[in-house]
Structure 1
């Protein structure tokens, strides 16, 4: 059987999602997943309305916010790693976005 490359192993590690540590959290996530899947499997829904899902699934919006914050560091590292592959024009666009963002904050 062929061996996996180191790159494949790195990709698998970056896709790892933290496992809930207690039964209540697992039950809560299971309930939210069931609610979302009920919505997605309803053939009457012609398009996905994420705001509706957030509004109708108790705790999902808060969980999603926490999930995004936990993954912020990973996203920052992915961006840093990809900067060397971008064209100068792309880097300039990003630089302008950062400057605009800083101006909006101050």
Structure 2
């Protein structure tokens, strides 16, 4: 299975194009690694013998994919936080209080 190189991708804030730009210095290496991971995933999901796609299996058995996915989710965290902040003024007081209760429960 392919192995992903360590890189801290920079995520664009454009919600429409959820694309991670690559560092120019190691662009070719990163593209090659991402291509290997994509090929492994495509081989798995296009296998006629696979009746149900198991994402956990893919993450565990495609070398580097889980690490890449974790890095991607973390880098996308800021975008999610901003979307939540912007949508708060559209919520009712009751909804805001419910969210507040959930946050307080998490902090305990």
Aligned match of 2:61: 56
Aligned match of 1:69: 74
2:99 to 94, 101, 105: 94
Whole-angstrom distance in 2 between the partners of 1:42 and 1:84: 47
TM-score, scaled to structure 1: 0.77
Runs of 4+ residues deviating >6 angstroms: none
Q: Which has the higher contact order (CA 8 A, sep 6+)?
A: 2
Whole-angstrom distance in 2 between the partners of 1:43 and 1:93: 46
Let me know the Cα RMSD of the aligned residues.
1.7
Structure 2: runs of 5+ lacking an equivalent: 1-12
Aligned match of 2:19: 17
Aligned match of 1:79: 84
CA radius of gyration, larger in: 1
Tell me the number of residue pairs that the alignment of Structure 1 and Structure 2 aligns: 92
Query: Deviation string for 1:17-76 (max 9, x for gaps)?
Result: 122222111111111111111111122222221110011100000001111111111110
Whole-angstrom distance in 1 between the partners of 2:49 and 2:43: 11
TM-score, scaled to structure 2: 0.75
Whole-angstrom distance in 1 between the partners of 2:81 and 2:101: 18
User: How many Å apart are 1:16 and its aligned residue?
Assistant: 4.0
Are 1:42 and 2:47 an aligned pair?
A: yes
Structure 1: runs of 5+ lacking an equivalent: 1-11
Whole-angstrom distance in 2 between the partners of 1:63 and 1:17: 13
Whole-angstrom distance in 2 between the partners of 1:94 and 1:48: 33
